[in-house]
Amino acid sequence: MTTSSKSKIHTIFESNTGTWQYIVADSATKDAVIIDSVLDYATATSTITTTSADILLDIVKQHQYNVVYILETHVHADHLTASKYIQQTLRRAGASQPKICIGKRIEQVQRTFARKYGIDETEYIGVFDKLLDDGEHLPLGNLEIEVLHLPGHTPEHVGYVIGSVVFTGDSLFLPDVGSARCDFPGGDATALFNSMSRLLSLPPDFRLYSGHDYPPKEGEGRKDPRAFATVQEHRNENKHVHEGVRIDEYVQWRTQRDATLGEPKLLHQALQLNIRAGQLPTASEHGDRFFYVPLKVPEDVWTWNVGTQG
């Protein structure tokens, strides 16, 4: 936990997906926000559990925080969000209901993936309580949150500035990790370079808190996950966008690199839940809830199956 005269920042690392979750609170008023929460999902059994989210709720209870916003930086493709679960749990406990917030371009992302997975618009329209625009300000007790639109990894991606810290989501990783992929629908390497450049134009002592960390393997450097680096550290050391890297160089490298990457292991489950702000799919007439996962079938196998039917 990091403490200043005005704010407290709790950094909670979820190791299965390499995700940083954050709670930021105004020290005086106890008003707080939760950023990029995680809902646990076991692929082997298709089971959702709430261990990671309950850790956040325990911190909120321990410090007697009043959660006013649950903030998403973007629609994550590598973990399920716990936003709706946290909101409903706080409401059941008698707390005021926090607003779930995300960048306003979420509607573009929702339409894209709703078509892909056959999700009816009644399941995603209006699920976020507040859609945020670039430069918008949110009150947090005596503090203020500024919204930065940081597209590239995804089109709706935003960051959150609170004082001299920025929660960058997947717009910029730690210096020895670099930057995020841009090959999801709506992703754009040129836009990401410009977003990272915007972050690196901030004062050199600003701390940039990342959405993920993937520490190097043993023997290759540090072992423990790290939540932030300063702007100056990134300017000097970020392996993808340090000072002197040209946009054309970065775009060419990022595009070539992305073409070699496999899809995140929770891609389909995460997208289907996250465009719903963490609301579970509607139950079937038998009470079951479903995620749809595309089959990847070699053409020769499919042709053989069709040819042998009947």
Among 148-152, 198-202, 253-257, 300-304, name the one with the lowest average pLDDT: 300-304
**pLDDT per residue over 230-288, tens digit each?**
999 999 999 999 999 999 999 999 999 999 999 999 999 999 999 999 999 999 999 99
Say if 81 falls within a structural domain: yes
Q: What is the CA radius of gyration of the chain?
A: 20
Cβ-count burial 146-175 (b if 16+ within 10 Å, e if not) = ebbbbbbbbbbbbbbbbbebbbbbbbbbbb
**pTM of the predicted structure, to 2 decimals:** 0.93
Amino acid at 306: V
Say if 294 falls within a structural domain: yes
Say if 188 falls within a structural domain: no
Per the structure, the count of domains in the chain is 1
Q: Which residues neighbour 301 within 8 Å (Cβ) at sequence distance 6 or greater? A: none
Return the pLDDT at 276: 98
Residue 203: is its pLDDT beyond 50? yes
Return the pLDDT at 310: 47
Residue with the bigger pLDDT between 306 and 285: it is 285
- Token pair listed for 105: 């371009």
CB atoms within 10 A of CB 258: 15
Return the pLDDT at 4: 60
Half-sphere exposure in the Cβ direction for 13 (13 Å, CA) = 14
What span, in angstroms and rounded, lies between the C-alpha atoms of 291 and 265? Answer: 14
Tokens 């992302």 correspond to: 109
Say if 182 falls within a structural domain: no
What span, in angstroms and rounded, lies between the C-alpha atoms of 266 and 272? Answer: 10
Question: Residue 27 class from Cβ within 10 Å (0-12 exposed, 13-18 middle, 19+ buried)?
Answer: middle
Half-sphere exposure in the Cβ direction for 300 (13 Å, CA) = 0
What span, in angstroms and rounded, lies between the C-alpha atoms of 107 and 110? Answer: 5
Among 95-104, 106-115, 292-301, name the one with the lowest average pLDDT: 292-301
Say if 185 falls within a structural domain: no
Confidence of residue 121 (pLDDT cuts 50, 70, 90): very high
- Secondary structure of residue 21 in the 3-state scheme: strand
As a whole number, the mean pLDDT across the chain is 94
Q: Roughly what angle, to the nearest 10 degrees, separates helices 247-258 and 189-200?
A: 130
- Token pair listed for 207: 């701390």
Q: Is the dihedral of CA 198, 253, 182, 169 positive or negative?
A: negative
Residue 307: is its pLDDT beyond 60? no
CB atoms within 10 A of CB 289: 11
Q: What is the CATH number of the domain that holds 126?
A: 3.60.15.10
Residue 198: is its pLDDT beyond 50? yes
What span, in angstroms and rounded, lies between the C-alpha atoms of 124 and 110? Answer: 7
Say if 71 falls within a structural domain: yes
DSSP code of residue 183:
-
**pLDDT per residue over 212-233, tens digit each?**
998 766 556 677 899 999 999 9
Return the pLDDT at 6: 87
Residue with the bigger pLDDT between 73 and 224: it is 73
Residue 28: is its pLDDT beyond 50? yes
Return the pLDDT at 295: 87
Runs of H (alpha helix) within the chain: 51-63, 83-92, 106-117, 189-200, 231-237, 247-258, 267-274, 299-308
By residue range, what is the domain housing residue 106? 2-167+207-229+265-308
Say if 184 falls within a structural domain: no
Say if 92 falls within a structural domain: yes
Amino acid at 285: E
Which is nearest to 41 in space by CA: 272, 239, 287? 272
